[in-house]
Amino acid sequence: MDYETLSTCFLGVFTDIKSDETKIFIMSKLHNDIDDFLFFLNHNIELDEWHVSFNGLGFDGQITQYMLNSADQLREMSGVDIAEWVYSKAQQIIQTQNTGEFLEFSEKNMQIRQVDVFKLNHWDNPAKRSSLKWIQYSMDWHNIKDMPIHHSKDITTQEEIDEIISYCINDVNSTKQIMALSKDQIALRKNLTEEYGINLFSASEPRISKELFMHFLSEATGIKKYDLRQLRTIRKEIIVKDIILDYVKFNSAPFQKLLEKFNEAIVYPEETKNAFKYSVQYHGVKTDFGLGGIHGATAKGVYKSDNKMVIMTSDVVSYYPNLAIRNKWAPAHLPKKEFCDQYEWFFDERRKISKKDIRNYVYKIILNSTYGLSNDKNCFLYDPEFTMRITINGQLSLAMLYEMIMEEIPGAIPLMQNTDGLETIIPREYVEKYVEICDRWEKITKLELEHDTYEKIIIGDVNNYIAVNSPKTVDYDTYLGIKAENPHYVYKRLGPDSYSYSSTKCKGRFEFHNLALHKNKSFLIVPKALYNYFVHDIKPETFVSQQTNIFDFCGGKKIKGDWEFNEEIIEDGVHKIIPTQHTIRYYISNHGSKIIKQNTLDGRQIQVEAGKWLQKLFINYKEHPIDEYDLNYEYYLTKIESEINNFQPKIVQLKLL
């Protein structure tokens, strides 16, 4: 469902999830469907039907409840008066949200239950914030057109209303598609809601973690949930030397200096951004430390295992949760034993359960989110010292392992250090020594490492790389199952019933498979081509020439604040500036226009694509054979070539065959 609230027109569109039956209700100068609309809403209530929406808890559901509460008053009003009344309420809701105040109706006070795919996917989080238009772009929706009529316009014609209806139906259909993509997540929340009696249908993963941890902790301690919700530990400062673990020690001067810097540090919880920064130069690699995680990488390049050297990768199992569990840390305001016992129970139970079991995923959410929630003032777990104990000791402990490997294995070459793991090239003759060092570190820290080897790793930097695991041998049936789920892996037939596969991992700008919808998937053809070049040895010009999905060639941009997009075109020799919408999809074409980002206050202009490249807006998908889109392949191959040149000193000029 979705509402459109204009100054003189209110529109509601509802599509049945199973039957696709669509109902449209209009209140305007030309229509007044208030009786039918209120009957429909009350019928929803009687049948215990749900409304599935994008931001329904924050907007549409608020409007619904306002109208249900004012039903008698609305029945006496004209269509346009109702529209004006709803518009006033809508502006009030938006203003309340903008000021960070609580909305009038909480989820439990809404008569019609909600599934809000916006909240469920945590797209209200600043790091993931996404509009419906952006999610439409990300999931290759056919029509990402913005609302064609400004909300303040006086609606006087049926043609205008039809245009609004068409727009609203498109939003409803795309919301239904988001629901389909969120099917497993909705099923998870349904099961949790039924099992624990907590409405989690629209809950983000952090909220699931918070609610379930509170549920179990309340049972373990006897503290009522209401009382738990009020608890916090507020700190003015954290003396870092008082929270560093006793076992943290270093032998090399660079890391001894690092420890000294941490021991001198004082953290002020209200001012943590960039509050601590220090870099260590060690064995030719710069590694950065802060209040978050360790990050370091060697020079960009392609690194391979061979018969003399092997790339080792080691990750700490459930690193941040286990630091707290093994060291018996808890937020200061919570009963220590009960918190630690419960936290450890989640970890132990998860290890006993198959990954296919829904509880495995639930416990994973709780384990991973608790650390983050300890730094959230709105959560009962809030204690910034608990957060700092984990992040600072996590960095120092991993740095200890880094130093031990480098100091004790001759010829070891560091590749990457990143939050919970390390990648290192070592001589094959020292693999047993490597494992022995890791075993020693595990005994010191009481933590556990998982090891693997890479056949190849392509490093841009610590956050951007492709890793190819060493091959694993499987039988035919296993091979078929793995290939069905991961067609991009590296496969080889070894015999009649023997195959090998190499799993792969892509991070940062090399990601292309199952990208989260809030991320920018612009020009997906580039990471796909790079992957196939580096992993499958397919030339970019060969790969690109075989691709037929126009969406892989598209870029997306969104704008906010005092900026707007304009399209600059030349028509019949006349230069024209055409305003366009706030979320755009486009591709690079041989014959197109220039899209300009312009500041509405000072007139500053920035080209969406700098240089000679022309763009073609692709707001509405139109299906054609790929060669009819007039793609400028030179642009894409140039981008791919530029990336490859970062890893190789010289490359032959790429040209599309």
Kindly list the domain boundaries of the chain, sorted by start residue. 2-195, 238-332+383-469, 513-657
Tell me the three state secondary structure of residue 113: coil
Percent of the chain with pLDDT over 90: 90
Length of the chain in terms of residues written: 657
Tokens matching residue 218? 């309340």
Asked if the model's pLDDT at residue 656 lies above 50, the reply is no
The rounded percent of the chain whose pLDDT value lies above 70 is 98
- If DSSP states are collapsed to H, E and C, what string results for 214-260? HHHHHHHHCCCHHHHHCCCCCCCCEEHHHCCCCCCCCCCHHHHHHHH
What pLDDT is recorded for position 653? 39
Residue 247 has pLDDT above 80, yes or no: yes
CATH architecture of the domain covering 238-332+383-469: Alpha-Beta Complex (3.90)
- CA–CA gap between residue 85 and residue 69 (Å, rounded): 13
Average pLDDT over residues 501-509: 94
What distance in Å separates the CA atoms of residue 536 and residue 205, rounded to the nearest whole number?
36
Specify burial of residue 162 (Cβ count, 10 A radius: 0-12, 13-18, 19+): exposed
3-class secondary-structure state, position 10: strand
pLDDT score of 359: 85
Burial environment of residue 53 by CB neighbours within 10 A (0 to 12, 13 to 18, 19 or more): buried
Mean pLDDT in residue range 263-273: 93
Is the model's pLDDT at 655 over the cut of 50? no
Say which CATH architecture domain 2-195 belongs to. 2-Layer Sandwich (3.30)
Q: Report the C-alpha gap between 78 and 280 in whole angstroms.
A: 71
Other CB atoms within 10 A of residue 387 CB: 26
Looking at residue 127, its amino acid is A
3-state secondary structure 165-216: HHHHHHHHHHHHHHHHHCHHHHHHHHHHHHHHCCCCCCCCHHHHHHHHHHHH
Q: Is the pLDDT of residue 562 over 70?
A: yes
3-state secondary structure of 404: helix
Question: Mean pLDDT throughout 155-172?
Answer: 97
pLDDT, one tens digit per residue, over 368-384 is: 899 889 999 999 999 99
Hey, what are 202's tokens?
Answer: 């629209």
3-state class (DSSP) for residue 71: helix
pLDDT digits (tens, 9 = 90+) for 106-127: 999 999 999 999 999 999 998 8
* pLDDT at residue 573 in the model: 75
The predicted-structure confidence for 584-619, as pLDDT tens digits, reads as follows 999 999 999 999 999 999 999 999 999 999 999 999
In whole angstroms, give the CA distance from residue 16 to residue 480: 38
Helix ranges (H only) for 546-584 are none
- Same topology, domains 2-195 and 238-332+383-469? Answer is no
Which residues pair with residue 490 across a beta bridge? 502
Q: How far apart are CA 77 and CA 83, in angstroms?
A: 10
Residue 223 burial (CB < 10 Å; 0-12/13-18/19+)?
middle
State the Cα–Cα distance between residues 323 and 307, nearest whole angstrom: 36
Q: What is the pLDDT of residue 358?
A: 83
pLDDT at residue 648, as a whole number:
66
pLDDT at 164 over 90: yes
